[in-house]
Amino acid sequence: MAGYVCTIAGGKGGVGKTTTAVNLGAVLQEMGYDVAVVDADLGMANLGSMLSVEPEKSLHEILAGEAAVSEALTDAPGGLTVIPGEQSLEAFADADPAKLRKVIKTLRNAYDVVLIDTGAGLSHEVAVPLGLADGIVLVTTPDDVAVGDTVKTAQLANRIDGTVLGSIINRATRHTDVAAIAEQMEFPLLAVIPDDPQATTEEPLVLNAPESTAADAYQRLTEALEGVFFRGESPETDIETILDDEWFLDDTEDHSDVDDDEDSGGVFGLFN
């Protein structure tokens, strides 16, 4: 049976797409699935540096016709298999995004899950992985521009018949207006990932800072997505937004103004 292909996308750079792909992949690998993560951010590839791996061959070389998929498969922390990219302008110029289709087809036949990390913007190189996916997870931060660009990415996905599973809000704080952001999106809000200053910068968080609130959020998100990937569950009906008020409460602060009554929707008022 062919594996599930999930593209991690978002209109703005620096919102945490690679972090999301790496942590979802690490949790799935721990759950017993064989996972491959592909760095399809052809202009600003950073998967290799984030995981401190040095591949013999890169995705860019595959897309330039200079290497086979098998030559670029690289072992990464947590048992993950990754195909990193390059950061040089020469490599970017030589890479043909259209050849990504063959790469993903090869990986789909060899792995249970293929996670595609994409670049920012609405270019052809972003559209290709959107169209190759069985499902798309969109990533944004609370920033207004990031949210707006995420909505545009969803619209692009719809134009090419892509399937948007939903979005996550990354780097949220207790002051984030989650309800207002959710109202702007015409797709499910899958999870709210806390901005966790206690978490290590060494990825994956779920392995290197498993007690952090961010790692907890990624763990719960992955467990929910497992049902979508492998049991045909629907994000709209089977996933309730993963959000825990306790992630956002600092024990050093006075929280007497926080209404945690069940009917209030907690800190964010999301579930009124």
Tell me the domain boundaries of the chain: 4-264
pLDDT of amino acid 43: 84
Please state, in angstroms and rounded to a whole number, the distance separating the CA atoms of residues 92 and 12.
19
Give burial (CB, 10 Å; 0-12/13-18/19+) of 43. Answer: middle
- Token digits of residue 43: 């202009």
Homologous superfamily (CATH) of 4-264 is P-loop containing nucleotide triphosphate hydrolases (3.40.50.300)
Whether the bond into 204 is cis, omega within 30 of 0: yes
The mean pLDDT of 194-219, rounded to a whole number, is: 89
Contact 224, 190 (CB under 8 A): yes
pLDDT of amino acid 250: 67
Q: What is the pLDDT of residues 157-167, one digit of tens each?
A: 999 999 999 99
Report residue 192's pLDDT band, with 50, 70 and 90 as the boundaries. Answer: very high
The mean pLDDT of 55-63, rounded to a whole number, is: 92
Q: What is the pLDDT of residues 63-72, one digit of tens each?
A: 999 999 999 9
pTM (two decimals): 0.90
Average model confidence (pLDDT) for the chain? 88
The mean pLDDT of 44-67, rounded to a whole number, is: 92
The answer, yes or no, to whether residue 220 has pLDDT greater than 80, is yes
